[in-house]
Chain A
């Protein structure tokens, strides 16, 4: 049982490049989330999804896009990378949105934009 799997673990992008951060979960959770964690800070919600085909913006969605074609996968797309997007990105899943007790996090993707 892998839980939540994120790839890649590390990536360096040049300004203006694009990339997709992959996230997959095998727990049949309906809710999936993307957070970013800046140095010394807590987590901020970028986008979330309540099920396949349904996504919505979180606190800091600008510069990102998501899709949810299956229950298992929730990729995060960065278009035209900017230095302000240098951060650690965490994907998470849960049975339902408010039930924090059911949150499972991936191991994170450390992204540097230069």
Chain B
């Protein structure tokens, strides 16, 4: 099956800093999603981005499908950005969704 690797596993930043989270995957995918799990455990969809670039406020994501990676950018970090960021992929509409182990982000006030 597809392997999903996220880096770094942990990241500690001061409020206001920028960050880049990476997701590498071992095979071609037609679906890729970034999720944020807040400190209370709630999972929230951030981006559905099988290819290209999207932006939503301070967050943006880029997926280069041909090179099998995706990047999540967080600018001007806030303490509410803390939590775990997961990348999840699926080869196609009928394939299993595979989650990475996540990047744990701590934003210090």
Chain A contact residues, CB within 8 Å of chain B: 40-45, 58-59, 88, 90, 92, 96-105, 107-108, 110
Contact = CB atoms under 8 A, between A and B. Distances in A.
Contacts, number: 63
Nearest to A92: B43
Closest 8 CB pairs of A and B: A101-B48, A98-B93, A100-B33, A42-B99, A105-B43, A43-B99, A98-B90, A42-B101
A51 to B, nearest CB: 14
Nearest to A40: B101
Interface of B: 4, 30-33, 35, 41-45, 48, 86, 88-90, 92-97, 99-102
Contact of B31 (A40, A45, A99, A110): A99
B82 to A, nearest CB: 16
Given A59-B96, A101-B45, A107-B42, A42 B86 contact: yes
A100 B42 contact: no
B99 A105 contact: no
Contacts of A92: 43
Most A CB contacts (10 A, CB to CB) among B30, B88, B93, B99 go to B99
Given A42-B99, A42-B102, A45-B96, A97 B90 contact: yes
B99 to A, nearest CB: 4
B45 A42 contact: no
A105 B101 contact: no
Contact of A98 (B92, B100, B101): B92
A102 B90 CA distance: 13
Given A42-B101, A96-B93, A97-B97, 12 more contacts: A42-B4, A44-B99, A45-B96, A58-B96, A97-B93, A97-B95, A98-B90, A100-B32, A100-B97, A102-B48, A104-B45, A108-B41
